[in-house]
Structure 1
Amino acid sequence: MRNIRRLFLRCLRLGHRRKWTKVNLLTDYVRYCRLCLVSLAYNSFTDSDVVIESLFEPVYWLVDHVTRWFGIQAQKHVPSVSVCRKCIAPKPARTHHCSICNRCILKMDHHCPWLNNCVGHYNHRYFFSFCLFMTMGCIYCSISSRVMFRDAYAAIEKFKHQEKERLKFAGNETIYSQTPPPTFTFRERVFHKCIIYLWVLCSSVALALGALTLWHAMLITRGETSIERHINKKERKRLLAMGKVFYNPYSYGRGGNWRLFFGVQTKLHWISRVLLPSSHSAYGDGLTWKPPSWIPTKQTSVLAI
């Protein structure tokens, strides 16, 4: 009887253990699946704003298509070609929404982190002038101080050689009649190193900022912005596949684009508005883009973007 009772108790314990073992295995399996899901879906850049914006994607899609069906309505006499999906407001031509400034920028070129502001219709000329004159100044400093740079570099190399000679004399204790070579003072070493640092800095800024200036000069010549460069490139490829030719509707020729960019109406303006500081505002209001009377244009057929 006792043996039967013990056997019965053992069976109950084994069943209890097996039951909890299956529950533990299921729990481990659920935890493992959760870990895999979190590892695959985790994104350090995701926050509440990104989630809310993703949830509003259907609303953006609805607004975009409804406005296409019923047409664009002008608001407060603002001509527009589309509706901004972020501002939910009419968006004029060549206008783009800046996610950093959280607003639409007229003729937006890019958001400059060094200026902490967008480069657009009203300050594009100032930005380009700053890059141009800064590059010219750095090139002038690099060329004019090249002799000082060579002398400072030779002095630093001479100092290193004399430092090695001094260590040799200090390590050889048998020589007392010879004196170690003189060394540079701390002020002289700092002076030569500062000259080398300034020359390298000016040369580096001249190369980097010069490349940026050439890039913007090319865009101004073509009558484009940095954003429109990518848009027009895609549109040009799409029309080329269809056997058509793309024409930039905002280009008025190379000379006309430069004159419109700087606001040059007369020959004297090349000096008073380009070479000398000028506070004149950009041409137009940034809402409509019609060629001014002082820019000859022969373009008849254009393709709107």
Structure 2
Amino acid sequence: MKFERFLSIPVSAVFLLTGFVYYITVFVFVEDWIGLRSSAGSLNAMMFTLLCFLCLFSFFACVLIDPGQIPASYVPDVEESRRSDEESQKNGAQLRQCDRCSTYKPPRAHHCRVCRRCVLRMDHHCLWINNCVGYWNYKPFFILVLYATIGSIYSTFTVIISSFQKDFGGRAPLKVFYVICGAVMIGLSATLGTLLVWHIYLIIHNMTTIEYYEGIRASWLARKSGQSYQHPFNLSVYRNITSVSLSLSPLFCALGAGSTFHFSRLIFPHFNYICNLSIW
């Protein structure tokens, strides 16, 4: 079942794009820039090869690792559920139930209409990995975006440098090829760079993509009632970052079961807003 995810067209497109970028970077632009037979050229080729390997390894991890399924043994805190509604809202203990799965959902879990199941700490469903990005594979997803951004920026740099050094000698098709490759790499670098900055922002605030958009509506509802809203899982920058278990290896994923999370003590009165929202 997991390996069937590789059969989708977007996943195949990622492999083709990676192979194309690797070939033109190493065998065209690095060769034109400093030559593969030179020590500097060989070093650059080896470094970019390692970077591409890390990208593909992270990509495989994103596709194959289950994003997080709600444990069959998951039971909400019964003691909390017996409290009065006012006390439950104050302590963020409202029960969340999925209408489609007919089961209780832990905090931050959401139902994915594509995967047709609830996913722990769901960030979004990614077309390019044919899988959800959730609690267990968010770390390799972020590492993938990081490595891919570095690789695309490096490739863009080699395209620009080799283009200025290249003597086209009136060969218009070759010049067009260089221009197209440069445009593709600049666009790819800008796209991946934007995605990287976006997820750095989310990690710093201990937030998922879904929670960001839920927070916009929650803020609006809070203002209407004359209150203020803060994201319930925003602890501190250090604790937010370490909660993702950030290391440069995609194998060291999140810690814990993914069904319980620490809350900020400052926001419990407004936790009911984000508990009752679901846009996915």
TM interval, shorter chain, is 0.5 to 0.7
Secondary structure in 1 matching 2:162: helix
Who is 2:68 aligned against? none
Partner of 1:76: 73
Correspondent of 2:258 among 286, 291, 296: 286
Deviation at 1:150, TM superposition (A): 3.0
For residue 214 of structure 1, give the secondary structure of its aligned residue in structure 2.
helix
- Please give the alpha-carbon distance, in whole angstroms, between the structure 1 residues aligned to 2:234 and 2:104: 24
Find the counterpart in structure 2 of residue 87 from structure 1. Answer: 101
CA gap of 1:214–1:119, structure 2 versus 1, over 3 A, is same
Decide whether the 8 Å contact of 1:82 with 1:91 is kept in 2.
Answer: yes
Gaps of 5+ in 2: 1-70, 78-94, 276-280
Distance in 2 of aligned mates of 1:290 and 1:219:
16
Shift of 1:159: 3.4
1:155 and 2:138 aligned: no
Note closer, same or farther for the CA distance 1:159–1:300 as it changes in structure 2 (3 Å cut).
closer
Structure 1 residues 26-73: Cα deviation after superposition (integer angstroms, max 9, x where no partner): xxxxxxxxxxxxxxxxxxxxxxxxxxxxxxxxxxxxxxxxxxxxxxxx
Decide whether the 8 Å contact of 1:75 with 1:90 is kept in 2: no
Q: What one-letter code is carried by the residue in structure 2 that aligns with 1:82?
A: R
Deviation for aligned residue 1:75: 7.1
> Identity over aligned residues, as a percent?
27
Which runs of no fewer than 5 residues in structure 1 stay unpaired? Answer: 1-73, 161-188, 265-272, 292-296
Residue 52 of structure 2 is matched in structure 1 by none
When residues 159 and 75 of structure 1 are mapped into structure 2, their CA distance, relative to the original with a 3 A threshold, is: closer
Deviation of 1:82 after TM superposition, in Å, equals 1.4
1:145 Cα offset (Å): 3.1
The equivalent position to 1:208 in structure 2, one of 183, 191, 204, is: 191
CA RMSD, Structure 1 to Structure 2 (Å)? 2.5
Normalised by the size of structure 1, how large is the TM-score? 0.55
The residue type paired with residue 235 of structure 1 is A
Q: CA deviation at 1:193?
A: 4.7
Give the C-alpha shift of residue 98 in structure 1.
0.6
Residue 151 of structure 1 and its aligned partner are, at CA, apart by: 4.4
Give the alignment of 1:262-281 within 5 angstroms.
263=245, 273-274=247-248, 277-281=249-253
Q: Is the 8 A contact 2:233 2:261 kept in 1?
A: yes
TM-score normalized with structure 2 length: 0.59
Secondary structure at the counterpart of residue 243 of structure 2:
helix
**Contact 2:140/2:251 (CA < 8 Å) preserved in 1?**
no
Counterparts of 2:226 and 2:219, CA distance in 1: 10
Per-residue deviation, 1:300 = 4.6
Match of 2:110 in 1: 96
Q: Answer yes or no: is 1:146 the counterpart of 2:166.
A: no
Confirm whether residue 128 of structure 1 aligns to residue 150 of structure 2.
Answer: no
Counterpart for residue 54 of structure 1: none
Partner of 2:44: none
Counterpart code for 1:159: R
2:97 and 2:253 map into 1 onto residues whose CA distance is 27
- Larger RCO: Structure 1 or Structure 2 (Cα < 8 Å, ≥ 6 residues apart)? 2
Is residue 229–residue 267 contact of structure 2 (8 Å, CA) maintained in 1?
A: no
8 Å Cα contact 1:79/1:92 also seen in 2: yes
1:116 matched residue in structure 2 = 130
Relative to structure 1, is the Cα distance of residues 238 and 224 closer, same or farther in structure 2, using a 3 angstrom cutoff? Answer: same
CA distance, structure 2, for counterparts of residue 75 and residue 129 of structure 1? 30
